[in-house]
Chains A and B, each alone.
Chain A
Amino acid sequence: MSDFKVNHREGAGIHVIELKGYLDAHTATDLESAFQRLINDQKFRIVVNCRDLTYISSAGLGVFMAYIEDVRKNQGDIKLTNMSSKVYNVFDLLGFPILYEIYKDEQEAIRKFGESSTGR
């Protein structure tokens, strides 16, 4: 039984990745695969909905670090949404809000993509 699930859906050119459960050094590869698939398919406008993400360790945060450069080089972005305060605290301790746009809800992040004319 997996402690972690990644769901992917797409609407209007925005790709939403929903995370559920525990993202640690064991499950980080599942998220890596999801990002890798999107990048291989030239999909660079990505929203990560963390509503059901219960837990994250630095190994999980490292996955975001691994792909952000590729995504931005291609005029895209990874925007994060719907974090619990527990998960946000870990991002915050490591200074991630400097580098990533973090929104309260998914629609807000999608709107932000709409405001920029670049990306795919």
Chain B
Amino acid sequence: MSRFPRSITTTVRSSTDHLREVRHFVEAAARQFGFVDEDVSNIVLAVDEACTNIIKHAYGGSSTGEIRVTVIREGTSFEVQIHDQGRPFDPESIHPPNLKQHLSEYRRGGLGVYLMRRLMDQVEFSIHPGRPNEVRLVKYLGSPSAHTGT
């Protein structure tokens, strides 16, 4: 029998003051799964970035929406599914930024999706009319961490 539930969920309002709560929820689940500190930090940051994008872009800063965060742990896979009912977010519009150009123009923002892709093994967006928007973030136990030189 597993040491922990395969799937756990929390739901928060679409406000940045709930980011801390989401981070704590994901951090505890990732630690329990056996990730080392660096991986835990990376997963937590990726989920924070996804939720921040939802609050800013899908809900346009309104705090009346909901964000549902589900962690599914199976084998070596740690998957975080994040659902919202805000405006559909077009993943095709997110191109990896040219970091040097981005920085040289002192551009602010737009780096969240890039970070998510660097920090996680898989990042997928599912947008279907009439269904909640979904972001899937997957990290495998034992996969290399994102840091300088990798």
Give A contacts to B, CB under 8 Å: 3, 22, 24-26, 55, 57-59, 61-62, 65-66, 68-69, 86, 89-90, 92-96, 98-99
Contact = CB atoms under 8 A, between A and B. Distances in A.
Contacts, number: 76
Interface of B: 16-17, 19-20, 23, 37-38, 41, 45, 48-49, 52, 55-56, 99-100, 102-104, 106-109, 111-112, 114-115, 118-119, 146-148
A58 B119 CA distance: 13
A59 B52 contact: yes
A86 B41 contact: yes
B26 to A, nearest CB: 13
Contacts of B99: 94-95, 98
A66 B108 contact: yes
A65 B108 contact: yes
Contacts of B115: 58, 90, 93-94
A86 B38 CA distance: 8
Contact of B16 (A25, A94, A96): A25
Nearest to A24: B19
Nearest to A66: B108
Contact of B17 (A26, A69, A98): A26
B148 A89 contact: yes
Contact of A65 (B37, B100, B107, B148): B107
B103 A57 contact: no
A62 B52 contact: no
Contacts of A62: 108-109, 111
Contacts of A24: 16, 19-20, 48, 52
Contacts of A55: 23, 45
A99 B20 contact: no
A95 B102 CA distance: 10
Contact of A93 (B20, B102, B118): B118
A21 to B, nearest CB: 10
A91 B99 CA distance: 12
